[in-house]
Structure 1
């Protein structure tokens, strides 16, 4: 995944609460493990009308929202099943951050593993952002903060390990692979210090 140190983008707004993972990516599109291309199915049942044509009123179909990389959503975003396809679809749609006053724990974990930053802010701040679609926000991952155009800045929670992975552009496995030299050096030093003990353990 690509590194995410900072992000400046307009917002796209979905005011609905309790947007679950089946609404983010309907179950019938989970027949693949390929991430590329899933974005065209994101919010599919909201994006299309009964005849299959695009719904012109849906936020992601509106031309003014083209290229927006920050989604502001109602409370309890990403609830429901644990499907990892949900953040895959959102990132393939072009999103790099989701802001809400509450984000489901499993979705939050899956998002962080896939380069999508879940940002939880106070309800009053989120309500303001919901009322101001298209506002330009500046996200600073290192500072764990979101800045509004008027200069106000709001901090959000982000654990140190997830922050490091985002800044380096790696998932958990990638982080461990990057530590291979350190792990090998430790194992070699342990074997040198305790050769007999290591031999007995191996048997």
Structure 2
């Protein structure tokens, strides 16, 4: 998993509330267990017409936001059914951070496990960030996980809270496998001792 320390990037404004996981990645794309390739179907029904052509009004189809790395979204982002494909699709598109007033619990947890930082902030702060994101590609937002601060393009700082353990994992690029591998020496020592004390196991 890639480390998340400081991200400065284009933020796409998506003021819709209750963006659920089926909107993020529709059910017909859940047949794969590959994490790559899902970005092209991110927000599929919002991005494309029935014939596959792009909907020009959708934010991620607009030239200013095609390289967005941050989403500023409406309340209750990631609600609906549990599917890890949702953060996979966001990450494959290039989104590393989602800012909203609230998140569905399972989606929130899945983000951390896949290298995406979900940030919950009060509505008045999200409104400021949404307005800043609406300025287009020239307005870049900075997310500093070490300092736990989001900075607008004109220099306004907003502090955010994050669980210390999850912060540690993101800063060091540790998913569940990485956390286990941190204990590799202790695991090997245990296995060697077990082979001696209980050779029949």
| Deviations 1:164-196, CA, capped at 9 Å, x for gaps | 1111112022112122124445x48xx6xxx9x
C-alpha distance in 1, partners of 2:185/2:142?
Answer: 36
Q: How far 1:144 sits from its partner (Å)?
A: 1.6
Partner of 1:43: 43
Q: How far 1:51 sits from its partner (Å)?
A: 3.0
| Deviations 1:43-86, CA, capped at 9 Å, x for gaps | 00000123321100000100111211000000000001110000
2:142 pairs with 1:138: yes
**Equivalent of 1:171, from 164, 171, 175?**
175
| Deviations 1:129-168, CA, capped at 9 Å, x for gaps | 2223233111111122111233321122211221111111
Contact 2:129 2:152 in 1 (8 A): no
Partner of 2:34: 34
**Greater alpha carbon shift after TM alignment, 158-167 vs 107-116:** 158-167
- Which residues of structure 1 form unaligned runs of 5+? none
| Deviations 1:91-122, CA, capped at 9 Å, x for gaps | 00111000001111110100100011101111
- Which residues of structure 2 form unaligned runs of 5+? none
- The TM-score normalised by the length of structure 2 is 0.89
2:30 pairs with 1:16: no
- The TM-score normalised by the length of structure 1 is 0.88
**Greater alpha carbon shift after TM alignment, 127-136 vs 104-113:** 127-136
C-alpha distance in 2, partners of 1:157/1:81?
Answer: 26
For the pair shown, which has the larger CA radius of gyration, 1 or 2? 1
**Equivalent of 1:151, from 150, 155, 166?**
155
2:72 alignment partner, SS class = strand
Alignment of 1:1-203 (within 5 A): 1-132=1-132, 133=134, 134=136, 135-184=139-188, 187=190
Aligned length: 195
1:131 alignment partner, SS class = helix
C-alpha distance in 1, partners of 2:141/2:110?
Answer: 23
